[in-house]
Amino acid sequence: MNILILGYGKMGQLIAQLSEERGHSIAAKINIDNRNELENLDPKDIDVAIEFSQPEAAVANIRWAIERGIPVVSGTTGWLDQKPSIEQLTLSKNGAFFYASNYSIGVNIFFKVNEFLSKLMNETKGYKASVEEIHHTAKKDAPSGTAITLAEGILKNNDELKDWHLTDKESDSDQSLPITSKRIDPAPGTHIIRYQSEIDDIEISHTAHSRQGFALGSILVAEWIQGKKGVLSMDDYLSF
């Protein structure tokens, strides 16, 4: 495949490295400093765009690719309030757009474990749920997209909780799920789900040891998306 890298920070660099190790070619490596180079590219020479940029650049990057018929695999978080417009654009252009808050296979298994546990805890009274996430200090958005996905998995299976809130912001509602966000170097990502009661605590967690699982997952999806159309997700890729 000929891959366009949209966002060439640490993640983009690792994606480029692993892509070439798997026999793929890099059409271009685009970041904030050379975005004007997009206009010199021939979309016919690009098989897929892998987008790990910044929240403020993600929408423009994705739109550029979708409008030119290039499938997009996106992992940038912090812009999802605009995701419905991207999905609409994808469908109107008969394109392909794949989004995941986390491309690690282990994390996506963790998502399913979290949902299963939340269903069990919904039938058990006396426990208070919470989410904690720890990332490196360069991560700009808080909470992480992964933490939000975990929170959504709890909310959809819990009859009492209605929304979530960051613990550094006040919430007077007992129906709000607290999320604690910590930024500590060099942590690539830890997510903890807790259910606490007066009798005992139940806790599940996922800890990433490096970015490699995230990067490789996005490349595997980019290989898989070839020839596909529509708005796609990890459920489609993993067939859960």
Model confidence pLDDT, tens digit, residues 210-223: 889 899 999 999 99
Say whether both 127 and 74 belong to one domain. Answer: no
With bands split at pLDDT 50, 70 and 90, how would you rate the model's confidence at 171? low
In this predicted structure, the answer to whether residue 201 has a pLDDT above a threshold of 70 is yes
Same domain, 197 and 220: no
Considering the domain architecture, whether residues 127 and 145 belong to the same structural domain is answered as: yes
Mean pLDDT for the stretch of residues 96-117: 94
Predicted local confidence at residue 162, as pLDDT: 95
| Local confidence band at 18 (pLDDT 50, 70, 90 cut-offs) | very high
- Asked if 180 and 232 sit in the same domain, the reply is no
- Amino acid identity, position 230: G
What is the domain count for the chain? 2
- Given pLDDT bands bounded at 50, 70 and 90, which one contains residue 172? low
Closest CA to 142 of 183, 191, 104: 183
Token readout for 148 is 């939000």
pLDDT at 40: 93
43 and 72 in one domain? Answer: yes
pLDDT-derived band at 170 (thresholds 50, 70, 90) equals: low
Q: Which residues are the active-site residues?
A: 135, 139
Burial bucket for residue 7 (CB in 10 Å: 0-12, 13-18, 19+): buried
| pLDDT at residue 188, as a whole number | 81
Domain span at 202 = 105-207
Task: Tell whether the model's pLDDT for residue 240 goes beyond 60.
Answer: no
Query: Is the Cα torsion angle 167, 51, 55, 91 positive or negative in sign?
Result: negative
The CATH number given to whatever domain includes residue 51 is 3.40.50.720
CATH of residue 125's domain is 3.30.360.10
Predicted pLDDT at 173: 76
